[in-house]
Every structure is written in C-alpha cells, then in structure tokens.
Amino acid sequence: MQQEIKKQIERIHALGATYVDARWYPFEETNELFMVNGNLKNTSFSRESGVGVRVLYKGAWGFSASSDLGNLAALFDRALDNARAAAERVTFPIRLAEKDAIQAQFTSPNQINPFEVPLADKVAFLKAMDDQLNQPGVFQRFSGLDFTRKQIVFMDSEGSQIEKLITEVFARLEVSGLDDQGQMHDRAFRLNQNGASSRGWESIDLGLFSQNAERIVEELRQTLVAEPCPKDDRSVILLPGIMYLQTHETIGHPLELDRILGYELAFAGGSFVRLEDFGKLRYGSEKLTARADATLPNSPGSFGYDDDGVICQNNLLIDKGILVGAITGRQMVEEANAKARRQIFDGSGGTNRATAFYRVPIERMTNINIDPGQDGNLEDIIQNTERGIVLDGDRSWSIGSNREQFHFATEMGWLVEDGRRTRVVKNPTYKGDTLKFWNSLSAVGDSSTWEVVFVPNCGKGQPNQIMQLGHGVPVCRFDNVRIGE
C-alpha cells in the first residue's frame, strides 16, 4: 500500500501540485462501554480504515477521502480537482513553512492493549463502580470506558514517511441527585494522569476509581443540602477539574493561529488576539506562564509528529504574563509572518491534527499547560484568601465568539471566609472577561497541585472534528470575580 500511495503522490506532484500528502489509516478501532444505573446501555465497537489525501495546487487546498482503497488514483485525482476549483478563489496563496523530511515512528506509551482485555473484565469494572456509586442520595449513576487504537501512516511529497500507533484510554464516573426542590446536581470523576507513566488498560486502577467513587458520592450529598451560591464578587480558587477548562477555552482556543487569522469565523469563531499582540500583550499577571507542550510522556496531547509531519514540541505561549506564542502549523505561520510583516514564528509548532482519515488537519491544542507557581499547596492558597470560593468540576461552559468573555458553571463550590473553607454551595457559577480575568491571577499553586487533565472531546472545524488532548494545570486563584449568575 505504501508503494502505491507513494506512486500516487509522485503522480499528482508531477501534474503541477506544489505539495501532496496522504494519511493512510490501516485501522482505527474504538470500544465504548457505558453503564447507567446498572444497565450496560452501550457495548459498542467500531473499526474503520481509509485514506485522506491533501493536495496544494496554485496556493489552494483540495482534500478527498475514502474508505474504498480499490481506486487510489481516482481518490488522488478528486483531491487535485478540488484544489483546482479552490484555486479559482485565492487571496493569499498558501505557503508551507520549511520542515525536515522525516522517517520516523511513534508509539504512545501503553503496557496493556485495551483491545486485548476481555470484555468481561471491562464489564466487571463498570459493575464494581456502579455498585459502589449505588448509595443513598444518588438518583442516577453513570460509568463509562472509552478506548481507541489507531495506526496512521503519513507520507508526503517532501519525502517524509511517519508511522504512528496511538492508544487512548478515557474513563469517567458520574453521579447525580435531586435536592428538596427537585433540582438536579452532578458530580463526576474522570481518569487523568500526572504527565508520566502510560495510558493502556493498566491505567484503569480499581483502587483509584474506588477512592474517587466514594468522594464524589459524598460531595454530591453535600451539594444536595447546600444553600444556593451567593451572587457577588470575590476570589475564585479553581481546582484542576475546572482550571483545565478555563485554560482550554480562554488560552487554548484564542491562541489557535487559524482562529487568529480568521479561518474559523464561519463557525467556531475568532479570537480577540491580533498579530500585533505577540510579544506585547499582557495576557495575564506575571504569575502566568503557559505553554503548548506536546512532549509530555503520557497525554492524548502528545502524539510524536503532527499531521503535517512536524515533530512535537514544547513551546511557550505566555511568558510571565506576556503573549509570546500560538498554536501553529506549517500554513498559518507563513501567512501570519507575511501579514504581520515581521517574523513572529520561527516555524511550525507541530500542532496540525485531523480527527480521522476523512478529515483535513487543522491547528489543534496539544497539552496547553500552566506552569506550577510558588504560592504553596491548596491549603496555603485558601489560608491566604480572605473571601473566596473554591470551585471544581465542569458543569456548563459558554464562551464569546472571540473568546473575549465566558460563563462557567461548576459542580462544586466551597465558600472561603477568612482563610478557611466554610460551607458548600449549590449551583456555583462564575463569569468574566478573558484578559481582565487572567490579569487578576493572584496565586498559582506549586507542583503538588499540578495535574494533567485529559480532554476526550474538543470540537472545532467544518466539517466538525473531535480531538483528544490534555491540560497540565495547577490550582490557581483569581480576584474580584463575579459568581452566582
């Protein structure tokens, strides 16, 4: 197959394409199990294979994909035809940043292939979790396992050939309950990592899940009898279970370079960030240092090489509060540098990824991380907070179309008065303007508070694409934030 793909790449290149690549998925398989109140609602497997072809012709992209590999020549021809049509309306001819021709392989770290684990073992795990969640006060209980394994062979007209074997494991427990007014409340736990070890079946640690099952049931019970969240301005202390989403939505998405350049305006939205902001904009307080680190040993945001064939990197985005970088691929850095009339980006940041063989690669978050700080552990931060609220768990999130403002609802809220947690409140929410919020960052927890939170379902693009990634984040405190709306 590789030989045939290579032959087709050379043929299309010879027909006038300036660049051609193909991603052949020999296989992608998934296995999802989902239990609700003891009922195994979903036991599903899937398997797919196919090729996606991308052709650059006279400065325009054409793409075509098919699961039918019987006529590769026709598939490549369609991609070229699509590019020729797109070349009828070009305003900035696409150029690709330089890269090395790479021959490489990448395998994500895992010890036990989850697809070789008997279904009975997976069901037994869910049943054990469901039994543990089945306690007074719990109205609905959910537990789920989600496994993916895919092989990707990338080849391009610049001489690269990269083979990747990626295994993903996601797992989640959730309970919900009704309070005395019939209002629903939730509490969830999802499998995360600390950025090390591996993510095969071995990461489904019964002890870890058991411990957290007890915790979320107890926290749900506290919420069910709590008073409503007050509506006022105070400090918010975000635990990793919501800090990851704050980072995702108001640092990750606004710093995708295709969004900044207006490539998502028809759907996902734009960004308040402008090209002239790089190197100048005070994005946050001096305590804020953020990076796109695709080199973490174990995270869905680490994938060896992106779908442009560029090696994964660890790049600064925000350095002590100043905006210095973005989430970039080969096409966008060239356009950004040209439009800015200065060299903002030295080359691709290696973040272009596609969700499947039948989608085109676009800039995606890798691991968008916040560096740990020097403000101690969670208890230290609480002790140094006069009036605040500790928040955890994502319940709802909504962000302005240029990522300029946001509204989040969380599962848990613990009020803080005079340096100590006082009581739980129900239906906690907070909102703010992105830049004002990050500039109010007043405390960043040390490495003991830093966790990598996995994201299985980041959506972007048209046609829509779901992507997996991670966020390594510490506990953080922000001041003068409106809560309770």
Interaction between residue 1 and another protein (CB under 8 A): no
Please report, as residue ranges, which positions from 139 to 168 form the binding site for another protein (by CB under 8 A). 139-140
d(CA 68, CA 358): 12
Nearer to another protein, 269 or 297 (CB): 269
Among 98, 131, 286, 485, binds another protein (CB under 8 A): 485
Residue 78 in the binding site for another protein (CB under 8 A): yes
Query: Does the footprint of another protein cover residue 180 (CB under 8 A)?
Result: no
Q: Give yes or no for a cis peptide into 463 (omega within 30° of 0).
A: yes
Tell whether residue 338 is a contact of another protein (CB under 8 A).
no
Nearer to another protein, 92 or 286 (CB): 92
Q: Is 225 a residue that touches another protein (CB under 8 A)?
A: no
Q: Which of 8, 12, 51, 64 binds another protein (CB under 8 A)?
A: 64
Q: Which residues contact 274 (CB under 8 A, 6 or more apart)?
A: 260
Q: Please report how close the Cβ of residue 93 comes to another protein at its closest, in angstroms.
A: 9
- Print the binding letters for residues 93-132 with another protein: x by CB under 8 A, - otherwise: -------------------------xxx--x---x-----
Closer CB to another protein, 123 or 316, in the complex: 123
> 């969380």: which residue's tokens?
410
Of these, 88, 116, 180, 418, which contacts another protein (CB under 8 A)? 88
The closest of 363, 398, 343 to 260, measured between CA atoms, is 363
Torsion of CA 79, 85, 86, 89, to 10 degrees: 170
How many angstroms separate the CA atoms of 300 and 190, rounded? 14
Residue 267 binding another protein, by CB under 8 A: yes
The dihedral built from the CA positions of residue 235, 239, 242 and 246, taken in this order, carries a sign that is positive
Cβ at position 162, least distance to another protein in Å: 22
Q: Which of 86/415 has CB closer to another protein?
A: 86
User: Which of 324, 311, 478 is CA-nearest to residue 390?
Assistant: 478
**Can you tell me the distance from the alpha carbon of 378 to that of 363, in angstroms, rounded to the nearest whole number?**
34
**Residue 374: CB minimum distance to another protein, A:** 33
Q: Are 472 and 369 in contact (CB under 8 A)?
A: yes
**Binder of another protein out of 8, 20, 56, 82 (CB under 8 A):** 82
Cα–Cα distances in Å, from 262 out to 12, 466, 482? 30, 20, 30
Element (H, E) at 73: helix 72-86
* Pattern 367-406, another protein, x by CB under 8 A: ----------------------------xxxxxxxx-xx-
Give how many residues touch another protein by CB under 8 A: 81
**136: contact with another protein by CB under 8 A:** no
Full DSSP string of 377-403: SHHHHHHT-SEEEEEEEEEEEEE-TTS
- Least separation in angstroms between CB 98 and another protein: 22
Q: Tell me which of 38, 159, 230, 279 binds another protein, using CB under 8 A.
A: 38
Please measure the distance between the N-terminal and C-terminal CA atoms of the chain and give it in whole angstroms.
57
- Phi/psi of residue 259, nearest 5 degrees: -65, -45
The residue within the footprint of another protein, chosen from 51, 86, 117, 425 (CB under 8 A), is: 86
Q: Between residues 428 and 474, which has the closer beta carbon with respect to another protein?
A: 428
Residue 463 in contact with another protein, rule: CB under 8 A: yes
Q: Shortest approach of another protein to residue 205 CB, angstroms?
A: 22
- 97 vs 294, which CB is nearer to another protein? 97
Residues 6+ apart with CB under 8 A from 293: 301, 314, 315, 366, 367, 369, 472
Distance CA 83, CA 472 (A): 39
Work out whether the CA dihedral 301, 303, 304, 307 comes out positive or negative.
negative
Find the binding residues for another protein in span 184-223 (CB under 8 A): 184
Comparing CB distances to another protein, the nearer of 8 and 369 is 8
Nearer to another protein, 7 or 274 (CB): 274
Is residue 242 at the binding interface for another protein, with CB under 8 A as the rule? no
Cα distances (angstroms) measured from residue 157 to each of 8, 54, 56, 58, 147? 10, 11, 11, 15, 33
Complex with another protein: residue 60 or 368, whichever CB lies closer: 60
Choice between 135 and 314, CB closer to another protein: 135
Among 192, 429, 439, 440, binds another protein (CB under 8 A): 429
Q: Which stretch binds another protein (CB under 8 A): 175-183, 277-285, 291-299, 447-455?
A: 175-183
Q: What character string, x for contact with another protein (CB under 8 A) and - otherwise, covers 39-58? A: xxxxxxxxxxxx--------
- Phi, psi (deg, nearest 5) at residue 147: -120, 140
